[in-house]
Amino acid sequence: MTAITHSVSRRTALRGLGGAGLATALALGLPGRTSASSSDDPAAVIAAYIAAVNAGDLDAILDLYADDAVHIFLPTADGSAGVCLGKEQFTMWYENSLANDDRVEVADGTLAVDGNQASFVARISSAPWSKLGLDELEAQADLVVIDGRIMTHVVTLTPESVRQLQATRGSTD
């Protein structure tokens, strides 16, 4: 005889929550600092990342990355390559990000997970952008999680967000 249960996996439950709900559910359900190594589930790692960024917790952010991870953010405000390799460069990137009071959320219904890869639309706010009159910009975020840590993290501002940023700066190129 086969017993049928009506349980839902944690991964399935998290997928249905949307951006803010996902971060809140994981933040409330896990006491103290969340370590990425506690889960190979990209959705859980993303939720821990968003919670750490929004809490301004540099150590928690860095704990989520593999030592040899790659982080790419395009386009950059200063025209630099926008590529960080390893935790030393991530430290400088995130110190600047936290100094700018950056905040991130997953746009509702955009999180897609396939194995160890995840993709979502990120809504990013930052004090320098606020001074330009921009509440938030949207970016496509793509991550690969290996052994519970972020190995690659690519963030690309959407074309509309790039246009908004250029318009506030008086640039059309």
Given pLDDT bands bounded at 50, 70 and 90, which one contains residue 2?
very low
Task: Answer yes or no: is 55 within a domain.
Answer: yes
Task: Answer yes or no: is 2 within a domain.
Answer: no
Task: Answer yes or no: is 1 within a domain.
Answer: no
Phi-psi region at 59: left, alpha or beta (left = phi > 0; alpha = psi -120 to 50): alpha
Task: Answer yes or no: is 40 within a domain.
Answer: yes
Given pLDDT bands bounded at 50, 70 and 90, which one contains residue 40?
confident
* Closest to 126 in 3D by CA, of 105, 154, 156, 150: 105
Per-residue tokens: 128: 């320098």
Per-residue pLDDT averaged across 24-34, rounded? 35
Does the predicted TM-score (pTM) go above 0.85?
Answer: no
Task: Answer yes or no: is 38 within a domain.
Answer: yes
Judge whether 142 and 119 are in contact, CB under 8 Å.
yes
CA distances from 136 to 95, 117, 123, 148 (A): 20, 25, 6, 29
Task: Answer yes or no: is 3 within a domain.
Answer: no
Residue 111's domain comprises 10-169
Looking at the structure of the chain, the number of domains it has is 1
**The domain that contains 25 carries what CATH number?**
3.10.450.50
Task: Answer yes or no: is 5 within a domain.
Answer: no
Mean per-residue pLDDT over the chain, rounded: 79
Task: Answer yes or no: is 119 within a domain.
Answer: yes
